[in-house]
Each structure stands twice: as C-alpha cells, then as structure tokens.
C-alpha cells in the first residue's frame, strides 16, 4: 500500500472514540496515534500520584493490598529478592503480582479482532488522565497494536465485578514480557516477540497494574462487535421479510407509512420504510387474488406449456358459482369469482404483517444499547480514580465503583433477549412457506414431488426450529445471578462478560436461522414465478385448457353455465396480464446473487448441506445486505 492510500490514523484522546473507530481498529488494523493534549493529562496524573506517594498517605491499590487485603499498608522503600534475581519495591511488586496472579482465564483464546478492540478501549480510557499511569506504559500498549502483537486472552474467567479483571490481566501480561501473543498469526511467548521487535518488558509503576486490569474492556469490546453483527442481521431480517412478502404475494397495507406514524417508535418506522423500499415496483405484492392459482400435484393429464416443456406441477382454481357467493356477492361483482392459492382476506399472518413492530423493537433495542456503549467507551472505568486538579478539602484519590460492569451487562442482556425474537419470527415465516396449509398456494415443502419421492425443504424448518429453541434457552439473563468473590469484598458482580460471550455465540445461530429462511424464501419466490408463468401460458392455450384447471364446476346449474363461460373468458384475459410479473429489483438481485453462488432452484431432492453452507457464508459476509443497498442507492435503516 502506498503512502497516499494509507488510512488516516485514529487519534485517541479518551473522549471521542467512536464505535466505528473501534471496529476499524479491530477488523482492519486501522493505525492509531495518541493525542498530545491527552498525554499531558496522563503525565500530570502520574506525577501527581508520585508526589502523593512520597507523602505517605495510604492509597488503595498503591500502598495497600487489594480487595480483602485493603487494610494492609505497604512500605515503598522495602525491597524483596525474587526468584528471577530482580529486586522490586513492595509497591512495584504489588502491581506486577496483581497482573500475574489475576491472569487465570481458561478456554479458547479470544479472536484477535476482539483483543485489538480491548487494547484500543483500554488505551482510550487511560488517556483521560485519571488513572495514574505513565506515558511510556500507554506507548507500549500502542506498540502492541502497531506491531499487531495480539495478547492471548482465554475467553472465560471474568465475573464483571472490578470490570474484567482476569482477561485484562492476560492483556497486560505482554507489557511486562509475560504470557503469550500472536505474532503474524503464530502463538509465541510475549518476551520473545518483544525482543524480536526491539522492545523490553516494562516494570510497572505505582498504580499501573490496577489501571491496566480494572475496567470493562472485554464486555465492552464484545458489545461493540455484537452491535456491528446484529445491526447487519437486523437489515438482513428486513430483506428476508420483503422476500417472503413477495413469495406469499402478500399485502402491502400493513407497511403504510400513515399506520406507523400513529405509533411512532423509531425502529418500527424504519423497518416499515425498509420493507416498502424493498418491495417497491413488485408486481407480486398486492396481486389480485384470482391471479394466484393453487399448486396442484403433477398428473398424467397435466398440460404442457405453450413452449412445449413438460411441467412438474399443475395448477388449479376453485370456481365460485353465483349460487355460492352469498355474502360475498358484491365482492364478486368487482372481482373475478375464482379462488386460487391466496385467501380472500385483507391481511396476512403476523410474521409478515407485524414484521415492522417486531423487527422495529429489535432495532430500538440496538439503538439503546448503542447509546450505553458510546457512553462507556469514553468513560473512566478503573479504581481508584486520581484527581490531579482539585479544590482545597477535596479528596485527590477516590475509591469508588466505576469498574462495575452492570451498565454494559444489562445492555447485553437486552441484546440477548432480542436475538431469539428476531430468530423466531424468521422461523415462523420459513414454516409458513413450506406448509401447504399456510403458504398461499405454493407446493408442500416447496418441491414439485411429482413422483411422491421428495421431501424438499421439510427438514430445513426442523433445523431452524432447533436453533430457535436453543436460542430461547440461552436467552436467560446471566446478570440476575451474582456470585460474590474476593472473600465477599466484591459481594455483588455483574456477570456481564458471560452475557457478552453468550450474545456473540447466539448471533452465530441467528445468522444461521436467517440464512435458512433466505434459502427457503428464494426457492419459494422462484416457484411463485414459475406458477404465475404457467398461468400466463395457460391463458394462451384457450378457454378449454383454462377450464380444465377449474374445480367446483359440478355445482354450476344449467342456468349458470353461460355466466361460467363468460367468467372463464374474463379470467383468461386477466391472466394474460401476468406476462411481465416480476419481483422488485432488490428481490431479483438477491435471487440472482443466491443462484450465482451455486444454490440453484431445487426441482428434486438433493443433498442440501452444500447449499446451507453457502447460504450461511453469504449471510455472515454481509454480501446480501451490501448488494441490496447498492441497488437501492442508499443504506437500509
């Protein structure tokens, strides 16, 4: 990459770090620099703390022990020989021991993007100048980011009490040359990686160990990465709903802008607007009821289309004779008296009609969580807090509880509860599409099954149901179960990091549910187009061919036969309008993208595992959303 193309560094100053900047640092390794003004605050705080130390005042975590050892006062001048031969003052040894004793996490290492996010977050909060760290320590953290020496941080071990003590201790190990890092993707001892890059381990000063491992870094980094993924999946869900609406030949009235203005939740308004944009120009949505035939199984008497191709399905309508029209007589004066696959009713099922309300509530949850995360991102979250500039009689070093993770923990709980909501409505649309009792005239399990040998997409719904059930069981909040720690000194904890880990795991399953719906919706959309195309072909073959696809003719009296003949002619003329029936441009784009990925229309049973793997990868990558937004010329809301 040449200098002109290099991305502009993100300046960290403790006060203006954005969610998007953290995501850029995490995923794209966007370069970072430290604000000079912020570094002056940092140095002033460190100098102030050094002067306070000389005065001999007890300062928690600096000249006292931690937690239940807070009543033990340390002697700054006393030195004790260590097994490695180095001698440290007890105050300095306290900080080193804090890091090495607290780095006890277990489990799979966190992915490098999350650890990069944790580093950026930690640097930013320390730059506020209330933590007593030195400039050199922040510069060392910055070097880890610049050189992409990613500390190895096992995923489990935080209770979210004094923040993420254990994982942040693993993060800090690399600064003192302990633990391991990923160097060029290879897991190596941190001391060796530092040496190869011309760096020596730091000896921590005064309060630096406490500043490095007190805070909400892991849960906050998790929340930021979760927001990014969840926002993408929220837009994918709107795309899925629009595809389903077209496949069902659904009704657009439920998305009327006037309706949502009367209940103006921002997310609801946004979801409805998205779906309106996604189906604009579709000739499937709001199609007249009589133009939508019901799928019928193929038989030996099934007709060939005008192009001579044998079809693997048949179609049919029920004729409504005058004597059976009853209360709907006036309806059939305005509409043709043929009942196909689409029920004569003004509204669709909740999973379609209420998509704005459900999807919108999830969007509003994302907005609220984002607001909380933005506050946390530029906050001081360690303890004690240093106030270098104070008025007379004010405390200069204050022990408090800004490290407690509950603000982020409860925000993550909201995300955790929202995930199965979006998954369950997706699974309900999928289930409707494969069920002949509810799919408005599409074939059972979306397969022609002319020989009675095919199951089609039946078991796809089983998998989606299993995932939704698992998501529901995982949605139980971890935040309501506090387990006291540190000999009851930390007698209430947030469990926010457990919540964060669950959210990220659950988002993976949500991706899969939405991908399964996308797989089924594209099959349904193409089948709907085939069925409507068959209806158009049928209209070109004459009234007798069309009449052969009608049921309930035995109820027609001799006096009504003339009316029947006229009605069939009217239906034939109307079906000729199906020549240019098509989905909206976004729906057509999604269908084309899915087919380009090798997920072809399924005419007969085949192994679906490759299709599922491909469709899940497509959703995970965000390509579907990107393609749709490109067609629309603007982002979805």
Instruction: State whether 519 and 551 are in the same domain.
Output: yes
Identify whether 55 is part of a domain: yes
Token readout for 469 is: 């059930």
Contact 489, 70 (CB under 8 A): yes
Structure tokens at 150: 């990613």
Distance CA 488, CA 482 (A): 12
The 3-state DSSP composition of the chain as helix, strand, coil percent (nearest 5) reads 55, 10, 35
- Within a domain: residue 220? no
Residue 25 is predicted with a pLDDT of: 97
- Separation CA 56–CA 76 (nearest Å): 9
Angle, CA of 478, 164 and 25, to the nearest 5°: 105
pLDDT digits (tens, 9 = 90+) for 515-564: 999 999 999 999 999 999 999 988 988 899 899 999 999 889 888 899 99
CA distances from 385 to 90, 208, 526 (A): 21, 12, 62
Backbone angles phi, psi at 319, to 5 degrees: -85, 140
Q: Is residue 430 part of a domain?
A: yes
Same domain, 117 and 166: yes
Span 78-83, mean pLDDT? 58
Query: Token pair of 595, please?
Result: 């087919």
Which of 490, 384, 381, 380 is CA-nearest to residue 57?
384
* CB 127 within 8 Å of CB 138: yes
Residues recognised as catalytic: 60
pLDDT in tens, 97-131: 999 999 999 999 999 999 999 999 999 999 999 99
Q: Which of 186, 215, 244 is the last residue of a domain?
A: 215
| pLDDT at residue number 73 | 67
Phi, psi of 439 (to 5 degrees): -95, 15
- The confidence score (pLDDT) of residue 393 equals 67
Per-residue pLDDT, 258: 97
Residues 569, 433 share a domain: yes
We report the CATH number of the domain holding residue 374 as 1.20.200.10
- Cβ neighbours of residue 482 closer than 8 Å, sequence gap 6 or more: 492, 493, 494, 495
**Number of structural domains in the chain:** 2
Helix boundaries (H) for 540-559:
543-547
Is-contact 476 152, C-beta < 8 A?
Answer: no
Q: pLDDT tens across 179-236, in order?
A: 999 999 999 999 999 999 999 999 998 889 999 999 999 999 999 999 999 999 999 9
Q: Which residues pair with 188 in a beta bridge?
A: 181
Q: Are residues 512 and 549 in the same domain?
A: yes
**CA-CA distance, 480 to 466, in Å (whole number)?**
26
Residue 637: inside a domain? no
Reported confidence tier of residue 67, pLDDT bands at 50, 70, 90: low
Task: Round to whole Å and give the CA distance between 421 and 233.
Answer: 12
CA 612 from chain centre, in angstroms, equals 19
97: nearest Cα among 218, 216, 175, 204: 204
Residue with tokens 């930021």: 224
Residue 467, CB-side half-sphere exposure with 13 Å CA sphere = 29
Would you say 435 and 465 are in contact if contact means Cβ atoms under 8 Å apart? no
Helix (H, G, I), strand (E, B) or coil at 319: strand
Q: What is the mean pLDDT of residues 49-76?
A: 71
Residues 158, 179 within the same domain: yes
Structural domain including 266 reads 226-632
Q: Do both 373 and 257 map to the same domain?
A: yes
pLDDT single digits (tens) 326-362:
888 888 888 899 999 988 888 999 999 999 999 999 9
Q: What is the DSSP letter of 37?
A: H
Determine, yes or no, domain membership for 148: yes
Three-state helix/strand/coil letters over 583-623: CCHHHHHHHHHHHHCCCCCCCCCCCCHHHHHHHHHHHHHCH
pTM over cut 0.95: no
DSSP-derived secondary structure for 270-284 = HHHHHHHHHHTT-SS
- Say which residue the tokens 């005042």 belong to: 57
Total Cβ atoms within 10 A of residue 462: 9
> What pLDDT digit, counting tens, does each position of 237-294 carry?
999 999 999 999 999 999 999 999 999 999 999 999 999 999 999 999 999 999 999 9
DSSP state of 215: B
Helical segments of 147-255, H only: 165-173, 190-196, 208-213, 217-247
| 254-267: pLDDT as tens digits | 999 999 999 999 99
| 89 vs 9: which has the higher pLDDT | 9
Please state, in angstroms and rounded to a whole number, the distance separating the CA atoms of residues 205 and 76: 11
Q: Read off the pLDDT of residues 401-444 as tens digits, 9 standing for 90 and up.
A: 999 999 999 999 999 999 999 999 999 999 999 999 999 999 99
Residue 616: how many CA atoms within 13 Å on its side-chain side?
15
Task: Let me know whether 208 and 234 are in one domain.
Answer: no
Of 185, 215, 245, at which residue does a domain stop? 215
Note whether 522 and 446 are same-domain residues. yes
- Answer whether residue 363 is part of any domain: yes
Q: How does residue 612 score in pLDDT terms, banded at 50, 70 and 90? A: very high
Tell whether 161 and 297 lie within a shared domain.
Answer: no
Which pLDDT score, from 0 to 100, does residue 205 have?
Answer: 87
Give yes or no: residues 65 and 121 share one domain: yes
Identify whether residues 207 and 286 lie together within a single domain. Answer: no
The helices-and-strands tally (H runs, E runs) of the chain is: 22, 15
Give me the percent of the chain exceeding a pLDDT of 90: 74
Contact indicator for 88, 79 with CB cutoff of 8 Å: yes
308: pLDDT strictly greater than 60: no
Please give the helix or strand (H or E) that residue 113 lies within, else none: helix 112-126
Confirm whether 251 is domain-assigned: yes
Residues 209 and 239 in one domain: no
CATH of residue 76: 1.10.275.10
Is there a domain that residue 343 lies in?
yes
The whole-angstrom separation of Cα 202 and Cα 196 is 15
CB atoms within 10 A of CB 56: 11
Confidence of residue 593 (pLDDT cuts 50, 70, 90): very high
Q: Domain boundary at 169, 190, 215, which?
A: 215
């Amino acid at each position: 990459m040449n200098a002109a193309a290099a991305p502009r560094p993100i300046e960290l100053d403790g006060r203006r770090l954005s969610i998007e900047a953290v995501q850029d640092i995490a995923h794209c390794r966007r370069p970072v620099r430290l604000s000079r003004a912020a570094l002056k605050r940092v140095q002033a705080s460190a100098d102030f703390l050094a002067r306070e130390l000389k005065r001999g005042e007890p300062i928690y975590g600096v000249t006292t022990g931690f937690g239940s050892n807070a009543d033990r006062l340390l002697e700054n001048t006393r030195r004790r020989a260590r097994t490695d031969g180095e001698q440290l003052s007890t105050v300095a040894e306290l900080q080193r021991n804090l890091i090495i004793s607290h780095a006890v996490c277990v489990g799979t290492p966190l992915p490098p993007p999350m650890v990069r996010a944790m580093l950026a977050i930690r640097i930013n909060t320390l730059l506020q100048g209330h933590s007593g760290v030195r400039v050199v320590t922040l510069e060392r953290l910055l070097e880890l980011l610049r050189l992409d020496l990613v500390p190895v941080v096992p995923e489990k071990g935080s209770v979210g009490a004094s923040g993420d003590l254990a994982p942040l201790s693993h993060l800090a190990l690399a600064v003192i040359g302990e633990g391991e890092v990923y160097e060029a993707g290879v897991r190596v001892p941190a001391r060796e990686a530092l040496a190869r890059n011309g760096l020596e381990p730091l000896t921590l000063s005064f309060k630096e160990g406490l500043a490095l491992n007190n805070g909400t870094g892991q849960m906050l980094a998790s929340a930021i990465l979760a927001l990014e993924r969840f926002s993408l999946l929220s837009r994918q869900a709107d795309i899925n709903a629009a595809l389903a609406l077209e496949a069902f030949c659904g009704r657009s009235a439920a998305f009327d802008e006037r309706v949502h203005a009367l209940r103006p939740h921002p997310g609801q308004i946004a979801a409805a607007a998205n779906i309106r944009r996604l189906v604009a120009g579709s000739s499937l949505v709001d199609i007249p009821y009589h133009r939508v035939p019901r799928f019928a199984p193929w038989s030996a008497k099934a007709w060939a289309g005008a192009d001579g191709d044998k079809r693997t399905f048949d179609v049919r309508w029920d004729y409504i004779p005058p004597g059976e029209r009853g209360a709907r007589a006036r309806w059939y004066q305005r509409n043709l008296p043929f009942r196909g696959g689409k029920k004569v009713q003004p509204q669709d099922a909740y999973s379609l009609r209420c998509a704005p309300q459900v999807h919108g509530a999830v969007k509003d949850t994302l907005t609220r969580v984002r607001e909380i995360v933005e506050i946390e991102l530029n906050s001081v979250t360690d303890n004690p807090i240093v106030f270098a500039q104070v008025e007379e009689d004010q405390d200069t070093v204050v022990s408090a509880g800004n490290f407690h993770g509950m603000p982020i923990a409860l925000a993550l709980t909201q995300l955790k509860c929202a995930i199965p909501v979006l998954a369950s409505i997706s699974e309900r649309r999928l289930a409707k599409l494969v069920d002949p009792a509810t799919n408005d005239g599409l074939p059972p399990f979306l397969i022609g099954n002319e020989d009675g040998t095919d199951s089609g997409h039946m078991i796809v719904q089983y998998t989606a149901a299993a995932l939704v059930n698992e998501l529901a069981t995982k949605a139980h909040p971890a935040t309501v179960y506090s387990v006291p720690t540190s000999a009851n000194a930390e007698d209430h904890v947030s469990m926010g990091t457990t919540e964060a880990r669950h959210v990220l795991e659950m988002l993976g399953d949500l991706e899969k549910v939405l991908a399964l719906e996308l797989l089924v919706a594209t099959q349904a959309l193409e089948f709907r187009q085939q069925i409507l195309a068959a209806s158009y072909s049928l209209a070109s073959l004459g009234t007798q061919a069309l009449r052969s696809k009608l049921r309930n003719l035995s109820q027609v009296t001799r006096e009504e036969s003339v009316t029947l003949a006229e009605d069939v002619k009217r239906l034939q003329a109307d079906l000729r309008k199906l020549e240019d029936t098509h989905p909206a441009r976004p729906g057509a784009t999604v269908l084309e993208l899915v087919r380009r990925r090798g997920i072809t229309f399924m005419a007969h049973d085949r192994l679906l595992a490759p299709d599922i793997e491909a469709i899940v990868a497509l959703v995970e990558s965000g390509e579907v959303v990107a393609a749709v937004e490109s067609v629309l010329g603007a982002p979805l809301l």
